[in-house]
Structure 1
Amino acid sequence: MARPVPEPVRPGQQSVWDYPRPPRVERENRRVQIDLGGTRIVDTDDVVRVLETSHPPVYYLPIAAFGDALSRGQGASFCEYKGAARYFDVHGGGGVVAERAAWNYPAPLPGYETLHDRVAVYAGPMDAVILGGETVEPQPGGFYGGWVTKDLAGPFKGIPGSMGW
């Protein structure tokens, strides 16, 4: 499938089509807050993001920032760049559990060592994921874990017809 036509970039936006492949890890200067089950489970400014062509950024937070809100989940996956991933169930207030809603790379491949001891979270199952004061939208399609914000121009991997991108 041919690369889609990137959306116009408005002032203050970045195009995900300008992001690199292989992906790049960089420091993020915005605070992340995550709510689940009516409880704030994460509030941190220790954030890195992974940028990859056609994807909204995936944000990684320190495992320690989750306190007791994580437990090992079922399954695993593999990224050709970052390595083997394991999944976590995310625990919120009132006994709410979002199964397999977070993941990390316990032994990341060379170039991605920064991701060791960091966790990424799918925005969809959370009550709210807030990045720098903005409530994010989950990346389309449910498979990928990027966070869509107003400062991004797509189209984004995960929409119908994007499997071959």
Structure 2
Amino acid sequence: MAIQRAVPGPGQESVWDYPRPPRVEPSRERVVVRLGGEIVVSTRAAVRVLETSHPPTYYLPAADFAPDALASAPGASMCEFKGRAAYLDVRAGGVIASRAAWTYPSPLPGYESLRGMIALYPGAMDACEIGGELVRAQDGDFYGGWITDRIVGPFKGAPGTLGW
């Protein structure tokens, strides 16, 4: 099946122009995440990971999260590029989003800037915003991409896209 790539308009990026292996780059836009009606994190010190066919995944400084918002959760996974991920529960406003975040305690070479950073599944939060724009979650339950109007696909993650 041929993938029908969307053509980016002015000010947009295509996920099909992102590299593999992924690139990590800083983002100075304000990122705000809410859960349980509370702000879990607000930062201008995010980094985003850009990988072919995926919306960007935003990693936020652990130090910028509200006190007690993060707790260790069971399980781990392995990324061939970034290394071993550990999972976290996110807690705020009486709500617990189980295994809704992950981090790379000892990232592989080339991804050291992810140390001390936390990624979240935007679909597990009440809301995630980038520069005031509400984020849409990437389809599927494995990837944690953040979709905004500035990003065009199609995006990996939906049923039938595993082989992309």
What is the TM-score normalised by the length of structure 1? Answer: 0.96
The residue matched to 1:114 in structure 2 has which SS? helix
Over residues 111-134 of structure 1, what are the superposed CA-to-partner deviations in whole Å (9 max), with x where a residue is unaligned? 000000000000001111011100
Deviation at 1:159, TM superposition (A): 1.7
1:5-154 alignment, distance < 5 Å: 5-66=4-65, 67-93=67-93, 95-154=94-153
- Runs of at least 5 residues in structure 1 that lack an aligned partner in the other structure: none
Quote the RMSD (CA, aligned, Å): 0.9
Identity %: 59
Q: Partners in 2 of 1:102 and 1:3 — Cα distance?
A: 33
Structure 1 stretches of 4+ with a deviation exceeding 2 A read: none
Alignment: residue pair count: 163
Q: Partners in 2 of 1:85 and 1:79 — Cα distance?
A: 7
Q: Partners in 1 of 2:135 and 2:110 — Cα distance?
A: 27
What is the TM-score normalised by the length of structure 2? Answer: 0.97
Deviation at 1:3, TM superposition (A): 5.7
- Runs of at least 5 residues in structure 2 that lack an aligned partner in the other structure: none
Q: Partners in 1 of 2:125 and 2:21 — Cα distance?
A: 28
Over residues 34-54 of structure 1, what are the superposed CA-to-partner deviations in whole Å (9 max), with x where a residue is unaligned? 100011111111110000000
AA at the equivalent of 1:18: D
